[in-house]
Structure 1
Amino acid sequence: MTENVSGWTRDEMAARAAQELEDGFYVNLGIGIPTLVANHIPDGVDVTLQSENGMLGMGPFPYEGEENPDLINAGKQTITTLPKSSFFDSATSFAMIRGGHIDLSILGAMEVAENGDIANWMIPGKMVKGMGGAMDLVAGVKRCIALFDHTNKRGESKFLKACTLPLTGRNCIGMVITDLGVFTREGEQRRFRLKELAPGVTLDEVKTKTEADVIWD
């Protein structure tokens, strides 16, 4: 017997996030699910992908057997170049980010709070190699979208009243896209509002799995 499946897969989440790309945008894609967004750039939309390890104009992932170990993104995945690709040092890369020259960043998240806070760089007690570029991205990029599974492996909400993990940034997330739906921050109070339900997801289901105080109508 086939189990009924509701909500978006990770690839479908990335495809939905790709709908937020606009022609001419400079875009930074975070590690994890956001890297899949590169596979779903809409036809007719020309964006330039920036990687904080020092590359502008990333191409698609290589075919098997054509990987170049010297060409990687910030998540250490092998990538390809384009005719417009350029390489530079980390100081130049972060000057682009901190200078407000990147239009959109799509980031993974461990937790997002109802006030737009995000935690995505460490879990206390677990070894981390460093904070990476996320703290600069949420502070310097014009618009930030969080893309993540709505609940953790224990079924607990990751869309919370307040983050419990160390923060990456405060009041910086303007849109949340999960496997259950899309939420945008709107109005004078900048509260999240449910904009779209994923296929097969009911309003009651997403309410049950959301701790954050969200506008539902």
Structure 2
Amino acid sequence: MNTGPSCADPRHVIARRAAREVARGQLINLGIGLPTLIPAYLDEPAAAWVHSENGIVGVGALARPDDLDSQLIDAGGGYVSVVPGGAIVDSATSFGMIRRGLIDITFLGALQVSAQGDLANWLVPGSLVAGIGGGAELAQKARRVIVTMPHVDKAGRPKIVTRCTLPLTASKRVTTIITEHAVFACSERGLRLVERLGAMSVAELRTITEADFTVDEEGA
């Protein structure tokens, strides 16, 4: 696995661990923000096909400031590259790939995730938001929905909750949560700690995780 840039930044801890979920040849979608860091940690740029819902199949790494195409952007407006063999498609084709269930994994950020895998990731309280966006279709139709996010919000409140209090993007669709501290699996039976990342103990994780969880032997 590519070690990528320095991983002192929690966002890179999350992105590096998320890259381990990707199998060679899969078609994956990256949400806005943190998920766009994941390609830097794949074994090679073409290890997986990265889909962007605005119409790119084969998104590469973020473009360098000295080598970017101002008309080549991902769904979040970031300047990107395209891997050899990649393609530019129209919106109907791009969303058709989503709606037909062809996306193997979508990596999404979140404001809240419940123990049963409910996802809330679009309405920021007190902010003007245009709408729910393409995340709703991705969360409903992708074969796996993996949330990559900080463990707590900027105010220090847990983002992994017993029940979401914000409007839902999708119900019971998140399979895996990856934060800078841990990896959790979600199911109707509740939350399960799969792996700890870093030095935080299970007891310490419970203090920053609202939802109760069980612990796999590997996560202990």
What secondary structure does 1:196 align onto? strand
Contact 1:21 1:45 in 2 (8 A): no
Aligned residue in 2 for 1:212: 211
Contact 1:123 1:166 in 2 (8 A): no
Q: Flag structure 2 segments of 5+ consecutive residues without an equivalent.
A: 1-7
C-alpha change, 1:45 and 1:206, in structure 2 (3 Å) is farther
- In the alignment, the residues of structure 1 paired with residue 178 and residue 95 of structure 2 have an alpha-carbon distance, to the nearest angstrom, of 26
Matched, 1:96 2:97: yes
What secondary structure does 1:144 align onto? strand
Aligned residue in 1 for 2:60: 59
Contact 1:62 1:78 in 2 (8 A): yes
More divergent stretch after superposition (26-35 vs 42-51): 42-51
Counterpart of 2:198, as a letter, is P
Aligned residue in 1 for 2:5: none
Counterpart of 1:163, as a letter, is C
What secondary structure does 1:77 align onto? coil
Counterpart of 1:146, as a letter, is V
Matched, 1:149 2:150: yes
Q: Flag structure 1 segments of 5+ consecutive residues without an equivalent.
A: 1-6
Aligned residue in 1 for 2:17: 16
Contact 1:181 1:196 in 2 (8 A): yes
- In the alignment, the residues of structure 2 paired with residue 135 and residue 157 of structure 1 have an alpha-carbon distance, to the nearest angstrom, of 22
> For residues 113-168 of structure 1, what are the alpha-carbon distances to aligned partners after superposition, in whole Å with 9 as ceiling and x for unaligned?
01100100112431113322100001110001001111111211110011111110
> For residues 4-37 of structure 1, what are the alpha-carbon distances to aligned partners after superposition, in whole Å with 9 as ceiling and x for unaligned?
xxx9711111000000000110000111111111
Deviation at 1:44, TM superposition (A): 9.5
- In the alignment, the residues of structure 2 paired with residue 185 and residue 166 of structure 1 have an alpha-carbon distance, to the nearest angstrom, of 19
Counterpart of 1:128, as a letter, is V
Trace 1:1-217 onto structure 2 (pairs within 5 A): 9-43=10-44, 46-185=47-186, 189-217=188-216
User: How many aligned positions are there?
Assistant: 209
- In the alignment, the residues of structure 2 paired with residue 82 and residue 35 of structure 1 have an alpha-carbon distance, to the nearest angstrom, of 15
- In the alignment, the residues of structure 1 paired with residue 131 and residue 45 of structure 2 have an alpha-carbon distance, to the nearest angstrom, of 37
Contact 1:185 1:193 in 2 (8 A): yes
Counterpart of 2:193, as a letter, is L
- In the alignment, the residues of structure 2 paired with residue 152 and residue 15 of structure 1 have an alpha-carbon distance, to the nearest angstrom, of 20
Aligned residue in 2 for 1:3: none
Q: CA RMSD in A?
A: 1.7
Contact 2:109 2:149 in 1 (8 A): yes
Question: Identical aligned pairs, as a percentage?
Answer: 39
- In the alignment, the residues of structure 1 paired with residue 196 and residue 173 of structure 2 have an alpha-carbon distance, to the nearest angstrom, of 23
Contact 2:15 2:41 in 1 (8 A): yes
What secondary structure does 1:80 align onto? strand
- In the alignment, the residues of structure 2 paired with residue 140 and residue 35 of structure 1 have an alpha-carbon distance, to the nearest angstrom, of 20
Higher relative contact order (CA 8 A, sep 6+): 1
TM (normalized to structure 2)?
Answer: 0.90
Counterpart of 1:67, as a letter, is L
What secondary structure does 2:97 align onto? helix
Deviation at 1:169, TM superposition (A): 0.4
Counterpart of 2:176, as a letter, is M
